[in-house]
Amino acid sequence: MHVGLIGTPGPDRFQDNIADALRQMGHRVTELGDALVARGGRVATRTADLVFTAMPGVERRYQHRAVRSALEHECDAVISTAGGLSPDAVSGLRDNGVPVALWFPDSVANMFRQRMLLAPYNALFFKDPLLVRRLRDTLNLPVWYLPEACNPHRHRPVGEPASRPTIVVVGSTYPSRLLLVRRLLDAGIPMTIYGAATPRWAAHLLPPGLHRGRYLVGEDKARVFRGAAGVLNNLHPAEMHGVNCRLFEAAGSGAAVLCERRPVLDELFDTEREVVPFSTFDELLEQAKALIADPSLTRDVGDAASKRAHAEHTYELRLETILDRLA
């Protein structure tokens, strides 16, 4: 099958792993561009969204480049990871016989104007089962629950397990995460942070040098996950019943993931052996201390997590579900 992808490009990003998995499955892939901006980050994306709201003609011309590209390349199907793809663009593909699915990787907080609900997608996939249930029960939309995944070719054990006695954070440092990191630091837990820079207005919450100032991808990210005593995965407050991609990537890399509990966690992993769950700060503190004190515990949890993630939570398995709906 020839699959077109609409979304944000970049090494080891959601779309990049989807493209890699599709190629591993034997499919042809054409990346068609982004629904909003090709680069520039979240601020630029929100700015473009405002411009497109005020000037729908600009949006129509911009997004129909992706539609034309899909038709010119004779794509058999299109998968969008961009919630901002307009109903008009989706109709342009459907009217020309190209089935379209949305696989939305963000929490409900990033649904913007919810226009994906007005678009005539063949199927919409969200990572939060509560959201899916609400949309299906009240709106009768073609929605399905589909969590994110790991890429075993990139998210795999690399290096020595638990080689650094620190709890690692890899990802955005939004306020609720910063406050939790600060509490752990005050309780004597060694911490290390990687990812996008902390906003200047919040940087004072962290001691100098704690944030390593670099964004991790591929083998570099897998090595950091594997080498940490534990990987902190507190979830955005807008994550209702679902979990995020970090859980799957870190688990696939053989990390002991300190994951905030959500209703689906027990369905995805054995919470006695494969992840280290927490609901309260005291529970998190106790679990973090146990991992730092016992590298063999980190290794055992990480090994079991990687085995589960590679067996049941890969992009290839998730994409089989999507492609079945588009067939």
H/E stretch holding 176: helix 175-186
For residue 53, pLDDT over 70 is answered with no
Residue ranges per structural domain of the chain: 2-146, 164-312
Q: Give the range among 19-28, 40-49, 251-260, 304-313 with minimum mean pLDDT.
A: 40-49
**In the sheet where 228-233 sits, what is the strand order?**
191-194, 164-170, 228-233, 257-260, 276-278
Task: List 3's β-bridge partners, or say none.
Answer: 29, 77
Domain 2-146 and domain 164-312 have a common topology = yes
Taking residues 138-153, report their average pLDDT: 97
- CATH domain 2-146 topology: Rossmann fold (3.40.50)
CB 173 within 8 A of CB 198: yes
For residue 15, pLDDT over 80 is answered with yes
pLDDT tens digits along 122-131: 999 999 999 9
CB 154 within 8 A of CB 219: yes
CA-CA-CA-CA dihedral for 303, 309, 311, 312, to nearest 10: 150
Task: List 144's β-bridge partners, or say none.
Answer: 125
> What whole-number distance in Å separates Cα of residue 146 and Cα of residue 126?
6
For residue 46, pLDDT over 60 is answered with no
User: What are the DSSP E strand ranges found in the chain?
Assistant: 2-6, 28-33, 77-80, 100-104, 123-126, 143-145, 164-170, 191-194, 228-233, 257-260, 276-278
- This prediction has a pTM of 0.92
**In the sheet where 143-145 sits, what is the strand order?**
28-33, 2-6, 77-80, 100-104, 123-126, 143-145
pLDDT tens digits along 232-276: 999 999 999 999 999 999 999 999 999 999 999 999 999 999 999
pLDDT for res 209: 87
CATH number corresponding to 164-312: 3.40.50.2000
pLDDT tens digits along 286-314: 999 999 999 999 999 999 999 999 999 99
